Structure 1
Amino acid sequence: MSKQHAGVILRVYPGSLAEELELVPGDKIIAINDQELNDIIDLSFAMADEEIDMLIEHADGQQEMISFDKDFDEELGVEFESAVFDGIRNCANNCYFCFVDMIAPDMRNSLSIKDDDYRLSFLYGNFVTMTNMGPRDFKRIEQYHLSPLYVSVQCMNPELRAQMLRCKGAARIAEQLDNLEQAGCDYHTQVVLCAGLNDGEELERTIRDIVARRPHALSMAIVPVGLTKYRDDPFPLKQFDAEGAARVIDEVEKWQAKIREEEGRTFIYLGDEFYLLAGREVPPTEFYDGFPQLDNGIGLTRSFINDWEKTEASAGSYEEPVYLDVVAGTSVAPILAKLADSVQQENLHIRIVPVANDHFGHTVNVSGLLTAKDIMKTLDGLTGKRTGILIPESALRSGEDIFLDDVTLEELQAHYPEARIEPVQGGKDFRQALTGWHGYHKNRNGETAYTWQSNAGYTKNIQY
């Protein structure tokens, strides 16, 4: 065997095959039926056999071969520390708009991981540029039918793309998309739109080229560039203002109408920020075609409102006054306020608390990037009674109850002993918390742990 890679077990599920085999956290799975394992994908295909010889290395360094029979579709029942056993593929680019490069200093190392790994794209929907991919990767995509992938296109002008990513290989975007299609892989696409750079005529070109790649191209998301106060890249970038956001909406709506007329779906979706910034209503549910890029933030606002509307409010009123502070990023606060205003329950007092992001800079206005210190600074500046505090669950690392600035939920609760703190994930949680506060509790036990990745969001650790 060449250099051995191993899948390190993080958790063994009760009643699972792994528990029956007496596997424990810390054990490493090195090979199955003499097949080396580079990632969870290799393991999944190897585990499809019914007769298994599994090479294990225990925490003390001792190796053991475990042989057993299993049903064809029987899962092992473990969670791994990482989906990729041979290490995450690092990004080969130096993009003008890289969010990881704009992370505040002295934060945990995991926030600085710059991944660009097609395997994480297949497993979790992480967006990849494909600049570090070669023939072996496309062959493996074809062999294992790894579809769909999620591709950061940014623009289809090869020279401009190479410039924006600061990588000569980025100019091969059309060729790389051809390679995906020849491998039988469909893909979702993303454009991080930068004012004055890849918008206007360049956006028209990108849309035209991607639309022509249907049906392999499944969808296209256009999201505005995000900048923090820690960006020190010399290339000048500016964010969209209300007028610029409105222009983008108008431009894209023409394409959306054309495609809906052709095939009855929208295909191109704008990030919620464009609508919020331009002061326009987010599109209706049917416009999002089942929300294919919800994890990319496309349609989150509409999905939140839908969940709210589908949830029945708790009947009755509160016998004693209840004072709830609802913590939110500044962009979504007006929508939460509108929903809260529709709640008419006696003795219920709701205060929406928009939190300015001092940590990353006020241009960062989403709830998921709020830190505990900024939340506390804002809440501490308010007067009046407080029964409970609702915080956005997206601001926590799932499974760990910890904010981006390493403050724990327990520490935040200790700071406000007079008020119960509860996370809220979506519209259903929000309505249940407001109308049935005394019975509301967000049970987050057993949720999968998350790690930070370079698409500026949290991605799940792999389960198998």
Structure 2
Amino acid sequence: MSHYGVIAGIHKESLAEELGLEIGDRILSVNGQELMDIIDLSFAFAEEEIELLIEKANGEQELIEFDKEYDEELGVEFESAVFDNIRRCGNKCWFCFVDQIAPNMRDSLSIKDDDYRMSFLYGNFVTLTNIREMDLKRIKQLHLSPLFISVHTTNGQLRARMLNNKRAANIIEQLEYLVKNDIQIHTQIVLCPGINDGEILDQTIHDLINMGENVLSLAIVPVGLTKYRESCYSLTGFSMEQAGKIIEQVEKWQLIARKKFGKNFVYLGDEFYFLANQDIPDADYYDDFPQLENGIGLTRDFIEEWNACQDKDCNAYEEPIYLDIVCGKSAEKILSILLRELEIKNLFIRVIPIENKFFGENITVTGLLTGQDIIQQLKFLSGKRDGIIIPGVSLRKGENIFLDDYHISDIEKELGAKVQIAHDAVDLNRLLKMWNNVKEENETEDMNYTWQGNCAYTKNN
């Protein structure tokens, strides 16, 4: 079966433009080597003499021969980072969030990937249950490091049951192979009350800490439960008391890890502190924020960014401005405290915590807000409203669309107010201080995949 990468974009004044490549062209091989993904392309394109076989939109093939500098980039973006289809997840995890989405939603939201290449390239967490011996050899040979692995528990029998896949029992052997071959890994646990907590959690942390320094970090997040669990394994969320005990349990392991590695190693998701009604730890707790993209320390990072912005001068508004800031219920307290200290003449701010009726009241994180919940709950609020600020984390990557397919423009139309997106604390600070000078329209970025030389990869989103 032939594999090919479909060009989705070409950089200006790039080698690809000079060669006459076009959007829609298919790259079939480089120097006779077929390509499975942009990783293969990176290594194949490291040569200085290149034979590039492409297929045009009309089906005609063309062999392009050229010389290039060793580190010269092709300058293209691809429709997908892998050319032989992303590997799908073959598990049926008890806690899988995809299995808990609302019915009749777009098919793409039900796609579960479990591809080690996407883990290496973009930090996606994988379970390794579909990994083959040839994949492990390729990871070793190309040194695809670090990888991001969903461990959940090192108890093989329990893991096999939790993932509904007998291959899941091999996790210790797989991790040891990676570590032995100098592959660094970040790990995570989705913690479920009464299943992989307690002594099981202690054993998992113990096992990972003692695998050595190539295991870089461990993130622990509480299981997320929506109201669409009719056909799912019976699970419950954490109570305030249970969350507090988890924090105490993990703190003991952090003391051990700090003596051993000079860092906490194991980090808790922000939700545990919200559930336990405890303060978010200081920045030192998170060391260098190794799992920020996984949401670990996101609140503290936001606070640090916000505080760093506040030494900048801002002008008062000549006329009153009334802005609504949308957030999840768990973020309301912290956001309100930060905004209370912001004093700008004629700026009136209202923080609106949105109850998640779409997924269920147990879901309090900002990242799972939906457009219809925002519209319904803001529509009936009295008072003036000149604009609405939406957290970027609530939108699908690269798009101004919520998980329920509502667009930013739907909110503007329904509520009759300008909507802007704040992706982080810097954005929020800028919008509050310069509301009258921000762009009228939010720009959507393309979700294309870029190959860069010297084994560096980016995803445009």
- 2:353 aligned residue: 354
- 1:134 aligned residue: 132
- 2:154 aligned residue: 156
Q: How does 1:172-251 map to 2 (within 5 A)?
A: 172-251=170-249
Q: How does 1:6-85 map to 2 (within 5 A)?
A: 6-85=4-83
Q: Relative to structure 1, is the Cα distance of residues 260 and 125 closer, same or farther in structure 2, using a 3 angstrom cutoff? A: same
Tell me whether 1:379 sits opposite 2:378 in the alignment: yes
Range with greater deviation from structure 2 (105-114 or 380-389): 105-114
Q: Relative to structure 1, is the Cα distance of residues 98 and 114 closer, same or farther in structure 2, using a 3 angstrom cutoff? A: same
Shift of 1:410: 2.3
Q: What is the one-letter code of the residue matched to 1:75? A: E
Q: What is the one-letter code of the residue matched to 2:131? A: M
Runs of 4+ in 1 over 3 A off after TM superposition: 440-448, 460-463
- 2:331 aligned residue: 332
Asked if the contact 1:82/1:461 (under 8 Å) is kept, the reply is no
* 1:81-136 Cα shifts (integer Å, max 9, x gaps): 11111011111211000111111122122111111111111011111111111210
Q: Distance in 1 between matches of 2:239 and 2:443?
A: 41
Shift of 1:442: 9.2
Q: What is the one-letter code of the residue matched to 1:376? A: I
Shift of 1:445: 4.5
Asked if the contact 2:92/2:164 (under 8 Å) is kept, the reply is yes
Q: Distance in 2 between matches of 1:60 and 1:359?
A: 45
Shift of 1:232: 2.6
Aligned equivalent of 1:109, options 107, 110, 135: 107
* 1:198-240 Cα shifts (integer Å, max 9, x gaps): 0011000000000001212110000000011112334211111
User: TM-score, normalized by length of structure 1?
Assistant: 0.94
Q: Relative to structure 1, is the Cα distance of residues 49 and 24 closer, same or farther in structure 2, using a 3 angstrom cutoff? A: same
- 1:264 aligned residue: 262
Shift of 1:54: 0.8
Q: Distance in 1 between matches of 2:339 and 2:440?
A: 19
Q: Distance in 2 between matches of 1:5 and 1:316?
A: 56
Give structure 2 stretches of 5+ with no counterpart. 450-456
Q: Distance in 1 between matches of 2:75 and 2:383?
A: 49
Asked if the contact 2:399/2:444 (under 8 Å) is kept, the reply is no
SS class of match (2:351):
strand
Asked if the contact 2:37/2:83 (under 8 Å) is kept, the reply is yes
Shift of 1:78: 1.4
Q: Distance in 1 between matches of 2:444 and 2:232?
A: 44
- 1:369 aligned residue: 368
Q: Distance in 1 between matches of 2:24 and 2:78?
A: 9
- 2:314 aligned residue: 315
Tell me whether 1:412 sits opposite 2:437 in the alignment: no
- 1:389 aligned residue: 388
Q: What is the one-letter code of the residue matched to 2:137? A: K
Shift of 1:272: 0.6
Tell me whether 1:424 sits opposite 2:422 in the alignment: yes
Q: What is the one-letter code of the residue matched to 1:208? A: H
Q: Relative to structure 1, is the Cα distance of residues 398 and 191 closer, same or farther in structure 2, using a 3 angstrom cutoff? A: closer
Q: Distance in 2 between matches of 1:229 and 1:11?
A: 40
Asked if the contact 1:314/1:432 (under 8 Å) is kept, the reply is no
Q: Relative to structure 1, is the Cα distance of residues 446 and 388 closer, same or farther in structure 2, using a 3 angstrom cutoff? A: closer
Identity of aligned residues (%): 52
- 1:89 aligned residue: 87
Q: What is the one-letter code of the residue matched to 1:53? A: E
Aligned equivalent of 2:280, options 282, 286, 290: 282
SS class of match (1:336):
helix
Asked if the contact 1:275/1:282 (under 8 Å) is kept, the reply is yes
SS class of match (2:330):
coil
Asked if the contact 2:379/2:415 (under 8 Å) is kept, the reply is no
Q: Relative to structure 1, is the Cα distance of residues 444 and 29 closer, same or farther in structure 2, using a 3 angstrom cutoff? A: farther
Q: Relative to structure 1, is the Cα distance of residues 14 and 444 closer, same or farther in structure 2, using a 3 angstrom cutoff? A: farther
Q: Relative to structure 1, is the Cα distance of residues 80 and 90 closer, same or farther in structure 2, using a 3 angstrom cutoff? A: same
Q: Relative to structure 1, is the Cα distance of residues 205 and 450 closer, same or farther in structure 2, using a 3 angstrom cutoff? A: farther
Shift of 1:290: 1.1
Q: Distance in 2 between matches of 1:282 and 1:14?
A: 45
Q: Distance in 1 between matches of 2:364 and 2:36?
A: 38
SS class of match (1:20):
helix
Asked if the contact 1:156/1:174 (under 8 Å) is kept, the reply is yes
Q: Distance in 2 between matches of 1:190 and 1:239?
A: 18
Q: Distance in 2 between matches of 1:94 and 1:399?
A: 28
How many corresponding residue pairs?
452
User: TM-score, normalized by length of structure 2?
Assistant: 0.94
- 1:454 aligned residue: none
SS class of match (1:257):
helix
- 2:453 aligned residue: none
Asked if the contact 1:83/1:461 (under 8 Å) is kept, the reply is no
Shift of 1:414: 2.3
Q: Distance in 1 between matches of 2:297 and 2:95?
A: 22
Q: Distance in 1 between matches of 2:152 and 2:108?
A: 25
* 1:8-39 Cα shifts (integer Å, max 9, x gaps): 11111222211222222211111111001011
Q: Relative to structure 1, is the Cα distance of residues 273 and 294 closer, same or farther in structure 2, using a 3 angstrom cutoff? A: same
Asked if the contact 2:29/2:52 (under 8 Å) is kept, the reply is yes
Shift of 1:51: 1.1
Q: What is the one-letter code of the residue matched to 1:153? A: V
* 1:160-217 Cα shifts (integer Å, max 9, x gaps): 1111011111111111112212332110110000011100110000000000012121
Q: Relative to structure 1, is the Cα distance of residues 81 and 358 closer, same or farther in structure 2, using a 3 angstrom cutoff? A: same
What RMSD in Å do the two structures reach over aligned CA positions?
Answer: 1.8
* 1:28-76 Cα shifts (integer Å, max 9, x gaps): 1111110010111111111111111111111111111111211111111
Shift of 1:260: 1.7
Q: Distance in 2 between matches of 1:201 and 1:229?
A: 29
Asked if the contact 1:397/1:449 (under 8 Å) is kept, the reply is no
